Structure 1
């Protein structure tokens, strides 16, 4: 059971899946489905402070290197293109809804990058990201928890 929870948490902090992938994987295990939800949610929320630290400190160091800078600029352009209008127009609510959408390219990683790029106040951005992650996680959990019981 602990192994299943750890796998759920690892997928939930991964930029390849976040809780959108961690929850369905965790629900396939024998672990308590409510514990799976909490583990995935908490792990996904922890991404924000780690990413902010990375962007504020580590990123500045690595920007000296040409190959890193090229990749970072590519990511920044994509984040600005995908989130700029929504976040600048609606602020907190725009960021929250952007993070809440359970699709690839949205979520806490993109929300944190948008926070950094648009210089959004950190406490407000953390709250918007956390609320967005919560609703996204609830949607995914309900879909897979009840969907699997109907079809499995």
Structure 2
């Protein structure tokens, strides 16, 4: 049982997959109870956040002029800054809520990794970023848990 929780914990740390993939794996495929699985997934998804916030930008800047990785790192920086500016323009003073919803809506590419990198590139404060990201991760976790448990299917069958 502990090995299953460890697997779910580590899967939730992987970029792109994150909690969005770990919750269905834990509750659906492995048959783990939903609440402990959700808690383990949230914790696992949040572990990389401080490292991304404090180091991702520095690593991308460092690598942007290197021979083999420079083009890719520069592309990541430009894409992140462009996307961050676009998000900030649209959100205005609602950047916290925009980041929360960006992380919380469980579609590929909008998780804690991307949200934290965007917050870092926008120079959003660390505490505000972490709070927005953790609330977004909780929202995504709840949505994924309900979806995995079939709640959405049950609701649509009631109203069909």
Tell me, in whole angstroms, the C-alpha distance in 1 between the residues paired with 2:139 and 2:152: 20
> Displacement, 1:61?
4.4
TM-score (norm 1): 0.85
Tell me, in whole angstroms, the C-alpha distance in 2 between the residues paired with 1:80 and 1:139: 29
What corresponds to 2:76 in structure 1?
A: 75
> Displacement, 1:137?
0.6
What RMSD, in angstroms, separates the aligned Cα atoms of the two structures?
2.3
Pairing of 1:126-137 with structure 2 (within 5 A): 126-137=130-141
Q: Deviations over 1:78-102 (max 9, x none)?
A: 3345454334423111111111110
> Displacement, 1:126?
0.6
Tell me, in whole angstroms, the C-alpha distance in 1 between the residues paired with 2:110 and 2:79: 11
TM-score (norm 2): 0.81
Tell me, in whole angstroms, the C-alpha distance in 1 between the residues paired with 2:7 and 2:153: 22
- Unmatched runs of 5 consecutive residues or more in structure 2: 155-160
Is the Cα contact below 8 Å between 1:76 and 1:113 reproduced in 2?
Answer: no
> Displacement, 1:66?
3.2
Between 76-85 and 133-142, the greater mean CA deviation after superposition: 76-85
Tell me, in whole angstroms, the C-alpha distance in 2 between the residues paired with 1:26 and 1:55: 29
- The counterpart of 1:111, out of the listed 98, 112, 115, is 115
- Unmatched runs of 5 consecutive residues or more in structure 1: none
Tell me, in whole angstroms, the C-alpha distance in 2 between the residues paired with 1:82 and 1:147: 34
Q: Deviations over 1:85-127 (max 9, x none)?
A: 3344231111111111100110111111101211111110111
Bigger radius of gyration: 2
2:30 counterpart SS class? coil
Q: Deviations over 1:54-96 (max 9, x none)?
A: 3265555444523333222222333345454334423111111
Is the Cα contact below 8 Å between 1:95 and 1:111 reproduced in 2?
Answer: yes
Task: Count matched residues.
Answer: 150
